[in-house]
Amino acid sequence: MSSTESADDRAERKELRQEHPSGWFYLTQHEAVPILIDALLDLPPNREFNKNEFAEHAGVTRQTVGNYTELLTEVELIEAVPNTSPKRYRVADSDVVRELYEFNSALNNTGDE
């Protein structure tokens, strides 16, 4: 196999991944999402927040939070609190969040002996 064919194969595989992303890639392909998830991980359970409060907590702009609120809701990381104005959110009670906490804990414990 020539280096050109190899580069072509890599480009084709990359394109296929982008067209049919895993859940992980779908979520993390957005530049600001990792910092938003990191901020969610250290919120107290059941803590409600609006977009301004979440932006301040994460160290990003309100616009950044607004850009990704729908995505974070779609993947069940946050959920809207019913009957709130302005709209408030909280960390979702979902399998995704439980697995995220478990994954984060496992990562934090690597190398500990």
pLDDT along the chain (113 residues), means of 10: 72 87 82 94 91 97 97 96 96 94 92 66
The one-letter amino acid at 24: W
Tokens linked to 14:
């990359």
Q: What pLDDT was estimated at residue 112?
A: 65
Based on its alpha-carbon atoms, the radius of gyration of the chain, rounded to whole angstroms, reads 18
Q: Residue 109 to residues 59, 103, 105, 106, 113: CA-CA distances in angstroms? A: 25, 10, 6, 5, 9
Question: Collapsing DSSP states into helix, strand and coil, what is residue 44?
Answer: coil
**pLDDT, position 2:** 52
pLDDT of residue 53: 97
Residue 111: DSSP 8-state: T
Predicted confidence at residue 3, as pLDDT, reads 56
pLDDT given for residue 103 in this prediction: 93
pTM score, two decimals? Answer: 0.80
Question: How far apart (Å, rounded) are the C-alpha atoms in residues 43 and 20?
Answer: 32
User: What pLDDT does residue 102 have?
Assistant: 94
